[in-house]
């Protein structure tokens, strides 16, 4: 029997960890793995947290560390202290961390200090912008990890550039993307269960096809929200675009807070601010959108998989393949650039360019197999 401790804390990690948990449950060797769930408490609002546990049928965390929102140093420090106590008690054979949040780094540091092997899912991504908190988290986590599960070939190459290679106890694999497993698994269920299009009045009963009636936007990156000028400029673009077709904006609590602080109002006819939505609702909103405007990592990929054109509200992206393919365009935060890009619609046109570059939908299974093969 091997014991692994899975560390999660933020919205996208619940989605990623659910895929791997499902693969463990489906594995013929499931009786040989015990998975202990640790929730740091980084995200805690019902719509940022529990809704995902319910919808994705994730097991209730064995440990909830209740850390909550703090400055980077304090949040990561408190997590580190509390995760260490859990690891000392559980003595797992490996710790699994996901993505690039403060919960990821705290989990990796706690494990490294106790000499417990770390498995990093979504290893090797780089923006090469060190002012991004996520870049620091992923750099350090990758350098500490024993198992580096990369989603793409580019990610493997990025690691090589930093001297991180397989061998001497390190295992690096391009296994594909766990989020791709997830949308393949949940898309059909989402269409069956979600009533979001009707609830928002987006479904046109006159037409069998209900798409092309709205743009979907998400916005939460520190670079866009912590600078009110940048945020204002993006919101202005959304208003401009919304004159023609409404923009649906499920609002991240971080963004909501900044908008309130700086009194950045939105015209609800053009930009419909809604609470964050559940994963199944999000998949449906993404699939039927005319285009997606986002600064989220996960949402850029989901746009690609749904073959929906994407405009990324950043100056760079870690998911360079989506840009190279022509399905994703980096538009930054300048109002005119965003509006012009939407009007020109010079992207996301050639289905032949939408290749399968994020694995075959069996990423989680591969991760479980690698862990079982190497930890025994």
> Would you please indicate which residues are annotated as catalytic (active-site) residues?
220
Find the shortest distance in angstroms from Cβ 99 to ligand UDP. 6
- Rounded least distance, CB 177 to ligand UD1, Å: 16
Residue 11 is a binding residue for ligand UDP (CB under 6 A):
yes
Q: Give 117 or 276: the residue with its C-beta nearer to ligand UDP.
A: 276
What does 302 interact with, of ligand UD1, ligand UDP, none (CB < 5 to 8 A by kind)? ligand UDP
Buried b (16+ CB within 10 A) or exposed e, 24-48: beebeeeeebebbbbbbbbbbeeeb
- Residue 218, interface with ligand UDP (CB under 6 A)? yes
What is the distance in angstroms between the CA of the first residue and the CA of the last residue of the chain? 8
Number of residues engaging ligand UDP in binding (CB under 6 A): 15
Spell out where the chain has E strands: 2-8, 33-39, 63-64, 94-98, 118-121, 147-150, 171-174, 215-218, 247-250, 271-274, 292-294, 310-312, 328-330
Which residue, 14 or 147, is less far from ligand UDP as judged by CB? Answer: 14
Q: Give the phi and the psi of residue 216 in degrees, each rounded to 5.
A: -110, 135
Nearer to ligand UD1, 12 or 117 (CB): 12
* Residue 235: burial class (beta carbons within 10 Å; 0-12, 13-18, 19+): buried
Q: Does 9 bind ligand UDP (CB under 6 A)?
A: no
By beta-carbon proximity to ligand UDP, the closer residue of 82 and 301 is 301
Looking only at the bridges linking them, the beta strands covering 2-8 and 215-218 are unpaired
Residue 253 binding partner per list ligand UD1, ligand UDP, none, with a CB distance cut-off of 5 to 8 Å that depends on partner kind: ligand UD1
Q: Minimum CB separation from ligand UDP for residue 46, in Å?
A: 12
- Residue 183 or 241 having the CB closest to ligand UD1: 183
* Residue 247 to residue 270: CA distance in whole angstroms: 6
SS3 helix, strand, coil % of the chain, rounded to 5? 45, 15, 40
Other CB atoms within 10 Å distance of the CB of residue 229 = 9
CB 292 within 8 A of CB 216: yes
Is 276 a binding residue for ligand UDP by CB under 6 A? The answer is: yes
Q: What does the alpha-carbon distance between residue 278 and residue 56 come to, in Å, rounded to a whole number?
A: 10
In the 8-state DSSP scheme, what is residue 361? Answer: S
Given a contact cutoff of 8 angstroms between Cβ atoms, the answer to whether 233 and 335 are in contact is yes
295/365 with CB nearer ligand UDP = 295
CB of 11 to ligand UDP, least distance (A): 4
Nearby residues of 62 by Cβ (< 8 Å), 6 or more positions away = 36, 37, 38
List contacts with ligand UD1 (CB under 6 A). 10-12, 42-45, 48, 69, 100-102, 133-134, 220, 253-254, 257
**45 contact choice in ligand UD1, ligand UDP, none (CB below 5 to 8 Å, kind-dependent):** ligand UD1
Q: Interface residues for ligand UDP in 279-338 (CB under 6 A)?
A: 279, 282, 296-299, 302
Residue of 8, 15, 190, 197 that binds ligand UDP (CB under 6 A): 15
CB of 211 to ligand UD1, least distance (A): 26
Distance CA 308, CA 356 (A): 15
Q: Which does 218 bind (CB under 5 to 8 A by kind): ligand UDP, ligand UD1, none?
A: ligand UDP
Q: Minimum CB separation from ligand UDP for residue 30, in Å? A: 25
Residues near ligand UDP (CB under 6 A): 11-12, 15, 218, 220, 250, 276-277, 279, 282, 296-299, 302
């Amino acid at each position: 029997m091997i014991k692994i401790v899975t560390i999660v804390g933020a919205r996208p990690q619940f989605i990623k960890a659910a895929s791997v948990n499902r693969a463990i449950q489906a594995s013929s060797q499931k009786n040989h793995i015990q998975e202990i769930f640790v929730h740091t408490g980084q995200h805690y609002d019902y719509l940022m947290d529990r809704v995902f546990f319910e919808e994705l049928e994730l097991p209730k965390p064995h440990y909830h560390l209740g850390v909550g929102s703090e400055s980077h140093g304090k949040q990561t420090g408190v997590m580190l202290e509390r995760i260490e106590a859990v690891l000392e008690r559980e003595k797992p054979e490996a710790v699994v961390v996901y993505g690039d949040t403060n919960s990821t780094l705290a989990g990796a540091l706690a494990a490294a200090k106790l000499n417990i092997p770390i498995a990093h899912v979504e290893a090797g991504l780089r923006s090469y912008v060190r002012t991004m908190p996520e870049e620091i988290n992923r750099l350090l986590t990758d350098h500490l990890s024993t198992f580096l599960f990369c989603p793409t070939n580019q990610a493997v190459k990025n690691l090589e550039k930093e001297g991180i290679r397989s061998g001497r106890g390190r295992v690096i694999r391009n296994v594909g993307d766990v989020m791709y497993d997830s949308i393949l698994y949940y898309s059909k269920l989402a269409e069956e269960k979600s009533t979001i299009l009707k609830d928002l009045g987006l479904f046109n009963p006159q037409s069998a096809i209900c798409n092309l009636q709205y743009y979907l936007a998400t916005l939460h990156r520190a670079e866009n929200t912590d600078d009110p000028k940048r945020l204002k400029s993006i919101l202005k673009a959304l208003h401009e675009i919304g004159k023609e077709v409404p923009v649906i904006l499920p609002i991240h609590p971080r963004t909501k807070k900044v908008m309130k602080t700086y009194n950045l109002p939105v015209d609800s006819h053009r930009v419909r601010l809604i609470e964050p939505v559940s994963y199944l609702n999000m998949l449906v909103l993404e699939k039927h959108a005319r285009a997606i405007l986002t600064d989220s990592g996960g949402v850029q990929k989901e746009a690609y998989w749904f073959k929906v054109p994407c405009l990324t509200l950043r100056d760079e992206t870690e998911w360079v393949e989506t840009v190279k393919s022509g399905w994703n365009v980096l538009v930054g935060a300048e109002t005119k650039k965003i509006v012009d890009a939407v009007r020109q619609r010079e992207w996301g046109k050639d289905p032949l360019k939408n290749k399968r570059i994020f694995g075959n939908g069996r990423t989680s299974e591969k991760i479980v197999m690698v862990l079982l093969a190497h930890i025994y």
